[in-house]
Amino acid sequence: MGKHWKYFFLLLWISYLLVSGVLLFVRGFLLHRVSLTHKSTCKISNNTCTVGDKPALSNHSDINDGDVPAHCFSSFDSDEETNICVASRAKVILFIIDALRYDFVYFNRSLDDSQVLPYQNKLAVINELLTHQPNHSKLYKFIADPPTTTMQRLKGITTGSLPTFVDIGSNFATPEINEDNVLDQLRSQNQNIVFLGDDTWTGLFPNRFLRQFAYPSFNVWDLDTVDNGIKKHIINEIQKSDWSFLIAHFLGVDHCGHRYGPQHVEMSRKLQEMNDVIRNVVNTMDDSTMLFVIGDHGMTSHGDHGGDSEDEVSAAMFVHSHKPLVTGDFIPHREVVKQIDLVPTLSTILGLPIPFSNLGSVILDALPSGEDISDQQYVLKALKHNLEQVTSYIHRYSSNKNEFSQEKLTLLKTNFNKLQDQVQNIFDSVKLKYFAVNALEYLMFLRKMCEEVWVEFDPMLMSRGLVITFVTIFFSFLIVDRLPGEVLNTTFLLVGYISMLIAVVVCIVSYNLDLVLNLEQGIYFFTGIVSLFLMSILIIQNWEPIVTTWHNQIKINDWTHVFCRMLVALSLVVMFSNSYVVEEATVLSYLFLSLLWLFVFNLKVSKKETNSRFRSDKSLFGSLNLHLTSSRLKVICLVIGLSFLLRLSHYYWRCREEQSGCESFVTHKPHSSGTLIEGKYRNAECLSTLVFLGMFVSFARIWLRSCGNLVGFSPNIALSRYSPSVIVVCTGGFWILHSLPRDMRLKFFLPWQLQFLPWVIYFVTATAVVIFFIQPLCIYIIPKQKDNLISVYGQENAIPQLFHQVKDMMAKRNKFNKPGKENVGSGDKQFPVIYGLATVYSALFVNLSVFLCLFIALLLGDVLAPSVLLMVTICIGLLVILAVLQCEKSVLTAQLFAVPWSFVVCWGLLSIYFFYGTGHQPTFPSIQWDAAFVGTGGQFSNHIIPALLIGFNTFSSQIIMGLMLPLVLIAPFTLWVMFPKFITANTDIKLEDMRRGEMLLFEKDGLFYRGMFTLCTKYILFHGMRMFACMFAATIHCRHLMVWKIFAPKLIFEGLGLFVTIPSVLVAYLITIRITSELENLLSRLDKVQR
């Protein structure tokens, strides 16, 4: 096994250990709530409690205390799962208008037509019903429990349970709900359900509906397909009598918010459309039917949702019945209700057992009035049923899980006993209202108690994950710089991988024997323990050279390294403060610039340049000029330029909800109104973005041509020359097509035609990647008879490499491999001219970066696309600065292959910063879902493609910076050969070696692969340290008020960033192996030809 593969497999091993540690921690921190499979049951009871011929509970009752018969009240027993419930009083139509925020429904009479925003006062029918039929209609603020994603909200309004935070990850998978719910209770009572709308329901509740009219829900660019489908069937279905529960889930309002934001004229159209549908339904339904119009969540000012801001959790619920609703002084009135309160309310109306896991409280004034029993008895039985169900659930849940403190369980039992005593003494409306208030307070206390401990943290898994992650980072830190390269051998790696394989087999056998409860967690833990044990043996065996190297490095380290460590520590400490996490973009910008200016002040002046300047001018001005050497002046100019570009990237920052006073400078909703960028400037902005993309492609082409890597007509060079321009043209065409008015697009283009250009880009990009892998060398060999073409380029800028350089290098390698044998060719041989050989490594990375940046620019859209060009420009400037610093401080050529930690930290900080610099935030509402529809139109058979597109959009900086990482090591050699006058080199570095350019990397492949391994490991460890800090912060703050709002999302996004960074770095390492392999084949062929 070659050295390059040994280093690769060790790097892969370290990466696996980091990933397994993170996954173990996440499994313990983000567990699903334990779902109980119990089903509630109840017996229908319509018995009217009377004393003589008078109802025991009525507003005019004169019955004395103690006269109410005992049979009026069923037993209050927390162990009893079969409760008494009342018969159904109505059928129910449930209208779910996705993202129906409360202020979309609330009618503000103080506004005139000129002041009304597009989302205000459009649901006039609701205002009319509330005004003219106040006893038949109610409007509530309907508070959703975060996360405010559709699937989690549907779970809440059907089961009454509180979804856990990690459930947000399954918003696209829509697993079937097996927990007790309203729909299953209806089916168990042989009642029928009809569904229309969002196909998420059919994934959650398959085979539950008598009839279903489901439509794809993921295409947020489609405002009308789902809604039109519902309108086509809704009236006919309402007029049928074979159903008890009808569900209609509209998506147009939500999709309009995602695409345009709430202040667009399209929002006005969609809300007016909903107004017409509600009016038609109210006029069509009979007296035995109730209408519930609800929003599953709200939306932010940008139209997004998923978090817990006021706008996201504040939905609306409107209730209407042709029969009067329950009214009177005996019930407490509520204007704000929780979404889970809908479940016991619907169950009571439909005469169903309340689902077993429900934690909601029945909304008393939303119940219909009836004649079977008095409203007072109806309310009392509804409350009793609710109390018995919730108490039974908590009793069963606490008996299986020790999550609740004994103190709270005792208090719960005490309050429940008090309610038992109260219910036996209710004989008038005053006592009934007093009981209702206490019952609702009891239910609220119980729900809050569950919210506090709902997520069951697993301390053992979290501890294992923390230990494995920390020890992996520590051991890797010892190995990467301090373990001699010759110690690493094939036997150690073979033993390591075989040991992990044995650990996996043992885990599988133990799992089948029920010795291991969870196979996945067992594999992560045992393979991690075995791996760390083997690494510890390796470190112990080589402790002396490790300590010696460590000691020597401490002696030569200057204050720059100390300051760099301080900056790293500061970037990690940020993870422990919620306010600093919110402002992390500013912190990263500050740390990155601080490190850049530190490089300037620490730049050493070569003795040669110092002596020449000192001899020429010994004045005071000359002394000042001594410090402003040409190299330092160049670096200062570059740092100033990068500082300006970094400040310019702030324009693309996106504000978080917690950042009061913050205002995003760019709109993330195309063609939306009410933002700083008005519609009349949109075309100019799109045009300027295309100009920047064209300039980017032109500069890349000029660079490759100057390097000699764009000569010839091989497939890879043809792709490099022409394909980027094709991609820019297709990108511009796609953006222009989608900037046209919607009616014009539908009139002149078919849906597939609108998505054709992105698929051209995908095909060209994929083809380029495949071709570059097959043929990675961007070089051109001029045949012998055309040697006179050597003068095509000027001597200073052209990089044609004469074969005598290759011959000398091959002679040296052969002499090293076969001592005593001469390999000197005769002087009369004609050697070919090879263009691009001195930049053969960097050329491929430049080409891949161009294609990747153009692909990501397409996904980011015309507004944010310039941000990725800013990132690449800053990366190029940073590479030049690091190359200058590396050449200036290196005394020997071998030192150019050792990239210091400060360079890695600088590169890592930039990759994390541009997560924010490309318009992202570690929050779920900030995810740019539009990327999933570029080229798909929302129509796909699975969610792999949209997930990949969103991933490339969200983590573009980590992907690009990870793939470009080898350039940090390669750049000094490239800069030497392309701009030899830019660097004032130390005289100890052999100039004739440096003139070889990147071929020196091939010649000194041992140093090159060792340096690549060290660079890649350091970079992964830097991100691993950040991940460990996030894990540790989440552990400390697991009961913090902001844990699910700030720390948990930060943990998830940081983990995903690490999982994206590791493959990017591994692919970059494999690319260098591929280039070297092809170079060896090339030289072998040329050697055979010359012989």
Cα 370 to Cα 52, 286, 322, 325, 343, distances in angstroms: 22, 15, 12, 9, 20
CA distance 1020 to 448: 41
CA distance 801 to 808: 12
Place of tokens 């082409």: 701
Which is more confidently placed, 557 or 641? Answer: 641
Label residue 485 by pLDDT band (50, 70, 90). low
DSSP classification of residue 297: -
Q: Are 896 and 972 in contact (CB under 8 A)?
A: yes
DSSP classification of residue 923: S
Q: For 390-412, give the DSSP string.
A: HHHHHHHHHHH---S-HHHHHHH
| Amino acid found at 675 | T
pLDDT exceeds cutoff 70 at 813:
no
What's the confidence (pLDDT) of residue 753?
A: 80
CA distance 535 to 550: 18
What's the confidence (pLDDT) of residue 211?
A: 93
Q: Summarize the confidence of residues 50-71 as an average pLDDT.
A: 46
CA distance 225 to 230: 9
Average the pLDDT over each of 366-375, 663-672, 779-788 and give the range with the smallest value: 663-672
pLDDT exceeds cutoff 80 at 645:
yes
Q: What Rg value do the Cα atoms of the chain yield, rounded?
A: 35
Label residue 424 by pLDDT band (50, 70, 90). confident
- Which stretch of DSSP H or E encloses residue 718? helix 715-739
What's the confidence (pLDDT) of residue 855?
A: 95
CA distance 119 to 264: 8
Q: Is 215 helix (H, G, I), strand (E, B) or coil?
A: strand
Q: For 496-564, give the DSSP string.
A: HHHHHHHHHHHHHHHHHTTS-S-HHHHHHHHHHHHHHHHHHHHHHHTHHHHHHHHHHHHHH--HHHHHH
**Angle (nearest 5°) at CA 73 between 418 and 428:** 75
Task: Using alpha carbons, select from 765, 786, 889 the residue that is nearest to residue 831.
Answer: 786
Cα 330 to Cα 49, 442, 790, 962, 1065, distances in angstroms: 17, 18, 100, 66, 68
Label residue 617 by pLDDT band (50, 70, 90). very low
| Amino acid found at 70 | A
What's the confidence (pLDDT) of residue 175?
A: 59
Three-state secondary structure string covering 614-636: HHHCCCHHHHHHHHCCHHHHHHH
For 296, list phi and psi in degrees, rounded to 5: -75, -20
pLDDT tens digits, residue range 157-181? 888 887 665 544 344 444 567 788 9
**Angle (nearest 5°) at CA 515 between 510 and 516:** 80
Average the pLDDT over each of 80-94, 497-511, 668-682, 933-947 and give the range with the smallest value: 668-682
- Which stretch of DSSP H or E encloses residue 154? helix 150-159
| Amino acid found at 898 | A
pLDDT averaged over every residue in the chain: 81
Label residues 905-937 b or e (16+ Cβ within 10 Å = b): bbbbbbbbbbbbbbbbbbbbbbbbbbbbbbbbe
pLDDT exceeds cutoff 50 at 297:
yes
Average the pLDDT over each of 372-386, 819-833, 1008-1022 and give the range with the smallest value: 819-833
Which is more confidently placed, 858 or 218? Answer: 858
What's the confidence (pLDDT) of residue 1068?
A: 96
pLDDT tens digits, residue range 357-404? 898 999 999 999 887 778 888 888 888 888 888 888 888 877 766 667
CA distance 509 to 530: 17
Q: Are 456 and 401 in contact (CB under 8 A)?
A: yes
pLDDT tens digits, residue range 601-610? 877 654 444 4
Instruction: Tally helices (H) and strands (E) across the chain.
Output: 39, 15
pLDDT exceeds cutoff 50 at 1041:
yes
Beta strands in 210-313 (DSSP E): 211-215, 245-250, 289-294
What's the confidence (pLDDT) of residue 469?
A: 95
What's the confidence (pLDDT) of residue 62?
A: 45
What's the confidence (pLDDT) of residue 787?
A: 40
- Which stretch of DSSP H or E encloses residue 91? strand 91-97
What's the confidence (pLDDT) of residue 683?
A: 73
CA distance 1006 to 1012: 10
Going 402 to 405 to 410 to 411, the CA torsion angle's sign is: negative
Q: Is 730 helix (H, G, I), strand (E, B) or coil?
A: helix
pLDDT exceeds cutoff 70 at 611:
no
What's the confidence (pLDDT) of residue 931?
A: 87
Sequence-separated (6 or more) residues with CB below 8 Å from residue 902? 560, 561, 564, 595, 598, 599
pLDDT exceeds cutoff 90 at 765:
yes
Both structure tokens of 303: 């139209």
CA distance 564 to 897: 20
Cα 18 to Cα 6, 203, 714, 856, 1070, distances in angstroms: 19, 35, 41, 27, 20
Q: For 330-373, give the DSSP string.
A: TS---SEEEGGGHHHHHHHHHT-PPPTT------GGGSBP-SSS
For 587, list phi and psi in degrees, rounded to 5: -65, -45
| Amino acid found at 792 | V
Task: Using alpha carbons, select from 86, 85, 82, 88 the residue that is nearest to residue 41.
Answer: 82
pLDDT tens digits, residue range 321-357? 999 998 888 888 889 999 999 999 999 999 999 998 8
Place of tokens 């192996």: 1073
Q: Summarize the confidence of residues 522-534 as an average pLDDT.
A: 92
What's the confidence (pLDDT) of residue 292?
A: 96
Q: Are 471 and 534 in contact (CB under 8 A)?
A: no
CA distance 312 to 400: 34
Q: For 995-1051, give the DSSP string.
A: TTTTHHHHHTHHHHHHHHHHHHHHHHHHHHHHHHHHHHHHHHTTTSTTIIIIIHHHH
For 415, list phi and psi in degrees, rounded to 5: -65, -35
What's the confidence (pLDDT) of residue 511?
A: 85
What's the confidence (pLDDT) of residue 1070?
A: 95
pLDDT exceeds cutoff 90 at 642:
yes
Q: How far apart are the first and last CA of the chain?
A: 29
Q: Summarize the confidence of residues 147-158 as an average pLDDT.
A: 77
